[in-house]
Amino acid sequence: MNQASPAAGPGSGADTRNIAALHGVHYAVDDKVVFDGLDIEIRRGEVTAIMGPSGTGKTTLLRLITGQIRADAGSVIVDGLDVAKLPMRDLYALRRRMGMLFQNGALFTDIDVFENVAFPLREHARLPERLVRTLVLTKLHAVGLRGAAHLLPQQLSGGMARRVALARSIVMDPDILIYDEPFAGLDPISMGVVMRLIRSLNDALGISSIVVTHDVQEISHIADVSYILSEGRVMASGSPTELRDHPSPLVHQFIEGLADGPVPFHYPAPDYREQLLAQHEGA
């Protein structure tokens, strides 16, 4: 069910291959460069993983795609629309075509599972209660939690809460589904369930999924293509097999989870000996 206005539909120059594309994107915060000519393409109908060491701008990338921030230079195109040039009304309409699964689920604690999933429908659509009930129960059934509709969030396990949040993110039938660290804090069984849901919902609903994650091994089972970000750019991209065979030491360190490599253990600091001596001399 698409509640977007016509202005938020595919642009006249819509890319038939990519649902989103970032070209030559530069972005900095307080003179700290986050992106320095970033190029990424999110293909329609696929699961795209965004990975990289901490602090490489993965969540910032999601904020650019959703129009929460604007690039200093370059373009961010979503379904043929230049996000930075959209009037606020059209930007809101575009966002309604996106589903978002937050890292902590972000469920409302004072309402039950049913009302959590129904919230976007009540907020953005005027539908008869009978249809709201049908849509909510259908989405809960898709994530295996139709029987938990009456429970409060505090009565759910971490994995169940993440699945309820996933049901809420798909209740408006989005074109793009965005996941921010969907596996964080989950036990192996819950992680397997969520991982299977990401793949199956993507294929069954015909959507395009963007998954920001640190879990290299898990995402390799479901991603069609993965991007590894570092130093403001794409360090590597491709299938899981292509990334494992990549010659870059940084990519190898990240994929294998090695402590030693291009990404240092120590934050940049003055010479250790000189700093200690200076402290003693000042004492």
pLDDT tens digits, 73-87: 999 999 999 999 999
pTM score of the predicted model: 0.80
- pLDDT given for residue 205 in this prediction: 87
Residue 162 phi, psi (nearest 5): -65, -35
Average pLDDT score over residue span 180-195: 83
CB 160, CB 145: distance < 8 Å: yes
Express as a percent the part of the chain with pLDDT over 70.
88
Residue 203 vs residue 185, higher pLDDT: 203
pLDDT 10s digits, 6-19: 444 445 456 688 89
**What is d(CA 242, CA 219) in angstroms, rounded to the nearest whole number?**
14
Exposure letters 252-270 (e unless 16+ CB within 10 A, then b):
bbbbeeeeeebbeeeeeee
Structure tokens at 101: 């699964």
**CA dihedral in degrees (168, 69, 73, 225; nearest 10)?**
-20
Domains, the chain, in order of start with CATH, read 12-97+176-187+206-282 (3.40.50.300)
Q: Give Cα 246 to chain centroid, integer Å.
A: 24
Radius of gyration of the chain (CA): 21
